[in-house]
């Protein structure tokens, strides 16, 4: 089969590989749609994936084969594949940290340790625990978007400890930040300030619930937030984009007792600086959190419920569509080039 | 001044009283709008209020006088008065239970222990801590509705521990239940089942976020819920109406590990029955909670933020309007008679 | 092999069965020590177990065989078997309710749905996830006590939301109640009132951390608690014994905003009554919780850490010891007769 | 009256001031015992206090006068004064952040904004809400120690989200770190590793519950912790001492999903560095918290309950005693010089 794989630092391309074999607890899924993700771009540019590893971890498909221990999923099932597909037999499961099952970040297996979804077929481990059934009538673009963008953005809102009426800043309004805005609204935020500039993103930020847009181009964002809030700062900050300095900006603009929730992956080996006075010299109860989205079946079902109930429409994130496996390269390149009107590209594989 | 007061068990009527005098931390508020509340009806019918006590605890007005210790509120301020106006100098404040400051339920002072808001003027204790400023441009019906209906319904959603995508049942779709539906949506619920029958309430329940309506008239509600959920039960139940038997229904329809959140005041001296098998013989992790809404300034500001950001429009609850203090009797009588098209009546006092 | 099994309602006796066969994820454990538990007595007297089911769910042993999928546990390992041995491949795992994996209370498999530990050998499902290694040097009586008594009592303390300095009542000072006292101390309780009368239990209650003993024989326990606390009530109540009426007593003696945590299994098909006024007519924020102890490997390891660090010594619970599988009948009978000096009997099987 | 006051950067000395006048909500307390605190040393050395401000915020005394609004406290009462004495009429009270009532860190008023306790008399604002009664029979050294050392150390344990059996590292075993050890034990920690070297501190660390001592002198502490834990890291880290680099060490040694709780005041205007890879590139769910201890009456009562129930004996922290107000200089100098056998000095004032 064909796959689009990491070749060497900075290089990605098509490879030919056998269709994966199915282990006892696995399912083989024929992919029907995938989305390109900027985290693949980072992996490729940093050269951190194993050579020849097929990239991609956002997709849906049809099950073609299941292992002998699989009880719930069966061939022919249309399924949604979460970006995070943990090993459900490790001790971290028992303290509710499946994202790190088997070790830090080990829950995100596809495109990190095993062949991912930029391919005709993929093997999904722990099929019963990881695959969610695609409900009849669900919009397929939304189905692809829940696997990573929506669940990640919504995890930002969860981490942020939002209470009814809170003022929330979402830094970065790419696809994850847009979903963090939608998620904040659905956790009860009052005012939501989106930080970003691209017109398409700004438009969607407002549709998803932002009450105000703050632009880097109009001055320091911390100063802007402090001015708008009469010097009080905001209750919660979700970081969904930016370099390592953004953490400090978040700490500066959050009030004592507030929360900074990070869902942004920093590709850096350096130190993240936290201003000692802004952090109240250690005494301000400004909590700093950050983590990988939950995955697995039940998480996907929760996201699906929200979409099916009409609480959020993640399909609006899809600004570009392609057809055919060869077009994965085009979709990927869009994520590299990030044209102004891009939020998220999807590739239909059948 | 004129006030509409509890006279004796089952009897309410207009009384003449002096305008209240202002204590050091108090404000005197000239009322501009009030709403009638069914909890007043209950107090009157059960005869539990002190004789001659002016009823009413949902209202807005203009400050005419403040005590010498009041720093923040000043005469001329347009204010929103929370139903719950605690004494902020009791020990319960220090463990975050202001609703019970000074003793169980003592936070709800107006119309329980001191003259309430069915009057031309009212005295509000701890004015700085209890009164919220009415923002310019805020819809006045919404302003009256946040004081009790919205904050109480939203407290139900808070107590229910809702997580993204949860299925929630709201039992009772009077004004509080409708706000519990809106609040559940804004805490991240997926499916929301409203239990009720009146056409106006059903219509609003759907507008506020119910994905399905369950009617008592079509059979046992527990059976209906279990059937819809394939025997799994739901994640959370919010009780916003009904007699003491409704708690048991809630326990029966919630899944192991789920939560029953009660915001319904039971006027009963009897025992609430909880089925031992339905509660898993004590072992099912079905948590039962219940409590009075938070009040005070910061809570009102949180509700105001939600309204001003367009997250919810509680003004839709107002189905009947009157003008003039004499019409409080009409509004009150509506709450007694509960005509089919009634959700909530408001009386404009100027 | 020999086992001590439920025969028919009210009857228990020895049976001969083949040594269980080992499934792919299972381990076969040769038991070296077991404890008799009053919940077995209840099962037998109520006749709710399947006929011929071997009873018992507290024990330690040596692994003799493991299934082909078992990676961590190996023959020869000395292991601690938790009372709760869930199926780790159900959806409830993903929302952190392993006690109810596969359905309400389904996590407690041994002696409920499958042959238990009153036997020479037992099959433990999901061996990697459920079995904890017995550390070198660990007292063996403590090892048996952690499997159910300690973890259950400590779960009561967890459910009770104890904060530093809280006053806690523990109703019932049998082995579980004694561990609830020890657990409350180790969650930060200040005053702990143990409710009970038997001299041995009273002595141990004080050793484990009770600051006062309240006796049913000296009057109504609610009145006694209210008098001691100047009418304020206590912060938390843990129920570790009693009939269905004890829940109401707990609700009556807890303060507004407090928690009632139930770890007592009620063998009743009736309704548990909750006094409406004591529960604040639904408004008092008195939270009522109850649930089966967590199980599995990580939970056992947590309990083991506490014992090995000297935080608690559960071996003191063991008041009676027997040797040889035939003596399981004697140990069981002690749990039926409950002599005054009994807390917990253990049977050494080698 | 005499007081020991900040004079200019680096300089402290005795001053003569009038006995403070009593405001409406205040109490005047004649001090009977105080303790010297290293945070005073920092304030003096950094020159951040207003000139002539009397230092000190750990003490007990006798009430000599109360304001007209004070209802609960009366002259003659023996009282414990919390280090944190908030203004209970600010909005932060309503979201449960009294430490920051009126602004970041504004809850710690004594010796920061108003004259402190190194004096014959002190004015305590919000006397009813801030002063706790000294119980009869309470050890007086313990009474002084609860005001800051114990409540601060215990707050570290609270912030750390400790669950039963967790392994906890406490970095720094001065008086606050020792109380963090005791607090961790009383929140349910299993293994506790104390990081420090001074023999007296090491001895007390073990008495208070440390199961192991790690010394900076024997190599990098992160490496030591990772080696002891087989590379897994620990569940929780409490920082109770060190410079800004210690935060990073804590992040490095905590496991994914773990918590770093800071109760150490950093006197630095620089950036605290957090290693991006150690923090899982933002994805590891390593939560970083930090905050000032709660104060006020109810908090003090909670600490008192723990002492009176025998859960902890903070009096062991007192290694040096003096008598007479003139000796405050000696006590203070000890905190500057930190001799090897010093944990905490106390000065008896009558």
Name the strand (E) or helix (H) holding D60.
strand D59-66
The complex's ipTM? 0.97
Following CA atoms A209, A215, A220, A221 in sequence, which dihedral angle do they give, to the nearest 10 degrees?
Answer: 10
Q: What is the mean pLDDT of residues A317-335?
A: 97
Interface test with B, best of D89, D92, D100, D302 (most B CBs within 10 A): D89
Q: What is the mean pLDDT of residues A15-19?
A: 98
Distance CA B178, CA B241 (A): 11
Give B46-55 pLDDT, tens digit per residue: 888 899 999 9
Which residue from A69, A94, A98 is facing C297, i.e. has the nearest CB? Answer: A94
**Residue C326 three-state SS:** helix
Which residue from B104, B247, B270 is facing C284, i.e. has the nearest CB? Answer: B104
Q: What pLDDT does residue C301 have?
A: 98
Question: A315 and A264 in one domain?
Answer: no
- The residues, any chain, with a CB within 8 Å of residue C144's CB and separated by 6 or more, are C33, C34, C35, C58, C59, C60, C318, C346
Question: D160 and D96 in one domain?
Answer: no
Mean pLDDT of chain A: 97
Mean pLDDT of chain C: 97
Question: A133 and A10 in one domain?
Answer: yes
Q: Is the pLDDT reported for residue B259 higher than 90?
A: yes
Instruction: Please report residues of A whose CB lies closer than 8 A to that of C304.
Output: none
Yes or no, beta carbons of A89 and C128 under 8 Å apart: yes
Q: Regarding beta strands D168-171 and D59-66, do their DSSP bridges make them parallel or antiparallel, or are they unpaired?
A: unpaired
Give residue B284's pLDDT band: very low, low, confident or very high (50, 70, 90).
very high
Q: Is B165 on the interface with A (CB under 8 A)?
A: yes
Query: Which residue is closest to C183 within chain D, CA to CA?
Result: D188
Q: Is the pLDDT reported for residue A350 higher than 90?
A: no
Give residue B285's pLDDT band: very low, low, confident or very high (50, 70, 90).
very high
Return the axis-axis angle of helices A175-185 and A151-159, rounded to nearest 10°.
Answer: 50
Give C61-75 pLDDT, tens digit per residue: 999 999 999 999 999
Give D4-50 pLDDT, tens digit per residue: 999 999 999 999 999 999 999 999 999 999 999 988 998 999 888 89
Give D215-239 pLDDT, tens digit per residue: 999 999 999 999 999 999 999 999 9
Q: Is D245 on the interface with A (CB under 8 A)?
A: no
Instruction: Please report residues of B whose CB lies closer than 8 A to that of C283.
Output: 99, 105, 265, 290-292
Percent helix, percent strand, percent coil in chain C, to nearest 5: 30, 25, 40
Interface test with A, best of B311, B312, B313 (most A CBs within 10 A): B311
Q: What pLDDT does residue C267 have?
A: 87
Give C275-315 pLDDT, tens digit per residue: 999 999 999 999 999 999 999 999 999 999 999 999 999 99
* HEC readout, B162-210: CCCCCCEEEECCCHHHHHHHHHHHCCCCCCEEEECCCHHHHHHHHHHCC
Give residue A139's pLDDT band: very low, low, confident or very high (50, 70, 90).
very high
Instruction: Please report residues of A whose CB lies closer than 8 A to that of C298.
Output: 91, 94-95
Q: What pLDDT does residue A176 have?
A: 98
Yes or no, beta carbons of A128 and C89 under 8 Å apart: yes
Yes or no, beta carbons of B129 and D93 under 8 Å apart: yes
- The residues, any chain, with a CB within 8 Å of residue D339's CB and separated by 6 or more, are none
Give C174-216 pLDDT, tens digit per residue: 999 999 999 999 999 999 999 999 999 999 999 999 999 999 9
Answer for the pair C3, C110: CB distance below 8 angstroms, yes or no: no
Q: What is the mean pLDDT of residues B323-334?
A: 97
Q: Regarding beta strands D27-35 and D344-348, do their DSSP bridges make them parallel or antiparallel, or are they unpaired?
A: antiparallel
Backbone angles phi, psi at C275, to 5 degrees: -65, 125
Interface test with D, best of A166, A244, A282, A286 (most D CBs within 10 A): A282
Which DSSP symbol is given to A148?
I
Q: Is the pLDDT reported for residue C236 higher than 90?
A: yes
Q: What pLDDT does residue A48 have?
A: 84
Question: D298 and D280 in one domain?
Answer: no
Q: What pLDDT does residue D272 have?
A: 97
Question: B94 and B196 in one domain?
Answer: no
Q: Which chains touch D (3 or more CB pairs under 8 A)?
A: A, B, C
Give B287-304 pLDDT, tens digit per residue: 999 999 999 999 999 999
CB-based burial, D123-136: b 16+ in 10 Å, e otherwise: bbbbbbbbbbbbee
Which of B290, B310, B338 is at the close of a domain? Answer: B290
Dihedral sign for Cα atoms in the order A273, A276, A281, A283: negative
Give D81-107 pLDDT, tens digit per residue: 999 999 999 999 999 999 999 999 999
CA distance A85 to chain C (A): 12
Give residue B262's pLDDT band: very low, low, confident or very high (50, 70, 90).
very high
Q: Is B272 on the interface with C (CB under 8 A)?
A: yes
Q: What pLDDT does residue C281 have?
A: 95
Q: What is the mean pLDDT of residues A228-235?
A: 97
- The residues, any chain, with a CB within 8 Å of residue C231's CB and separated by 6 or more, are none
Outline where DSSP puts E strands in B45-158.
Answer: 59-66, 78-81, 121-124, 132-133
Q: Is D15 on the interface with C (CB under 8 A)?
A: no
CATH of residue B172's domain is 3.40.50.720
Query: Which residue is closest to C235 within chain B, CA to CA?
Result: B95
Following CA atoms B264, B266, B272, B276 in sequence, which dihedral angle do they give, to the nearest 10 degrees?
Answer: -10
Give D250-277 pLDDT, tens digit per residue: 999 999 999 999 999 998 899 999 999 9
Q: What pLDDT does residue D31 have?
A: 98
Q: Is B270 on the interface with C (CB under 8 A)?
A: yes
Question: A130 and A44 in one domain?
Answer: yes
Range of the domain at C229: 155-290
Dihedral sign for Cα atoms in the order A22, A26, A31, A37: negative
Question: D43 and D127 in one domain?
Answer: yes
Q: What is the mean pLDDT of residues C315-329?
A: 98
Give B80-101 pLDDT, tens digit per residue: 999 999 999 999 999 999 999 9
Q: What is the mean pLDDT of residues B112-137?
A: 97
Yes or no, beta carbons of B69 and D24 under 8 Å apart: yes
Q: Is the pLDDT reported for residue A267 higher than 90?
A: no
Answer for the pair D95, A165: CB distance below 8 angstroms, yes or no: no
CATH of residue A98's domain is 3.90.180.10
List residues bridging with C284 in a β-sheet.
B291
Question: B283 and B183 in one domain?
Answer: yes
Total number of domains constituting chain B:
2
Q: Establish, for the pair of chains A and C, how many residue pairs have beta carbons separated by less than 8 Å.
A: 35
Distance CA B62, CA B30 (A): 5
Question: B315 and B246 in one domain?
Answer: no
Q: What pLDDT does residue D49 have?
A: 87
Which residue from B154, B190, B211 is facing A164, i.e. has the nearest CB? Answer: B154
Which of B240, B275, B290 is at the close of a domain? Answer: B290
Which of B254, B274, B290 is at the close of a domain? Answer: B290
Give residue B171's pLDDT band: very low, low, confident or very high (50, 70, 90).
very high
Instruction: Please report residues of A whose CB lies closer than 8 A to that of B309.
Output: 189-192, 211
Question: C260 and C224 in one domain?
Answer: yes
Length of chain B: 350
Yes or no, beta carbons of B267 and C281 under 8 Å apart: yes
Yes or no, beta carbons of C248 and B271 under 8 Å apart: yes
Question: C318 and C277 in one domain?
Answer: no
Distance CA B216, CA B213 (A): 10
**Residue D212 three-state SS:** strand
Q: What's the number of CA atoms in the CB half-sphere (13 Å) around residue D294?
A: 27
CB-based burial, C133-153: b 16+ in 10 Å, e otherwise: bbeeebebbbbbbbbbbbbbb
Q: What pLDDT does residue A77 have?
A: 98
Mean pLDDT of chain D: 97
Yes or no, beta carbons of C88 and A89 under 8 Å apart: yes
Question: B122 and B135 in one domain?
Answer: yes
């Amino acid at each position: 089969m064909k796959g689009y794989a990491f070749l060497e630092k900075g290089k990605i391309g098509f490879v030919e590989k056998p269709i994966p074999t199915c282990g006892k607890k696995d399912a083989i899924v024929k992919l029907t749609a995938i989305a390109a993700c900027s985290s693949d771009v980072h992996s490729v540019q940093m050269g951190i994936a194993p050579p020849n590893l097929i990239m991609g971890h956002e997709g849906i498909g049809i099950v073609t084969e299941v292992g002998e221990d699989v009880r719930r999923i069966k061939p022919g099932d249309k399924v949604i594949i979460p970006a995070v597909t943990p090993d459900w037999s490790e001790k971290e499961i028992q303290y509710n940290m499946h994202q790190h099952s088997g070790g830090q970040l080990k829950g995100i297996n596809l495109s990190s340790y095993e062949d991912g979804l930029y391919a005709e077929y993929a093997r999904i481990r722990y099929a019963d625990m990881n695959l969610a059934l695609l409900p009849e009538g669900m919009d397929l673009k939304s189905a692809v978007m829940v696997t990573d963008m929506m669940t990640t953005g919504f995890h930002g809102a969860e981490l942020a400890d939002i209470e009814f009426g809170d003022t929330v800043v979402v830094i970065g309004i790419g696809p994850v930040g847009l979903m963090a805005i939608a998620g904040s609204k659905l956790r009860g935020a009052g005012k939501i300030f989106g930080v970003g500039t691209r017109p398409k993103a700004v438009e969607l930020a407002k549709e998803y619930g932002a009450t105000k847009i703050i632009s880097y181009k109009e001055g320091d964002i911390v100063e802007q937030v402090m001015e708008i809030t009469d010097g009080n700062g905001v209750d919660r900050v979700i970081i969904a984009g930016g370099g390592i300095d953004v953490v400090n900006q978040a700490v500066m603009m959050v009030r004592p007792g507030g929360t900074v929730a990070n869902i942004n992956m920093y590709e850096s080996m350096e130190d993240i600086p936290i201003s000692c006075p802004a952090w109240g010299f250690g005494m301000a109860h400004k909590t700093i959190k950050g983590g990988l989205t939950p995955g697995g079946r039940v998480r996907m079902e929760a996201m699906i419920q929200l979409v099916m109930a009409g609480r959020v429409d993640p399909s609006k994130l899809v600004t570009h569509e392609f057809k055919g496996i060869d077009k994965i390269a085009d979709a990927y390149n869009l994520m590299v080039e990030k044209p102004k009107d891009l939020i998220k590209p999807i590739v239909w594989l059948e």
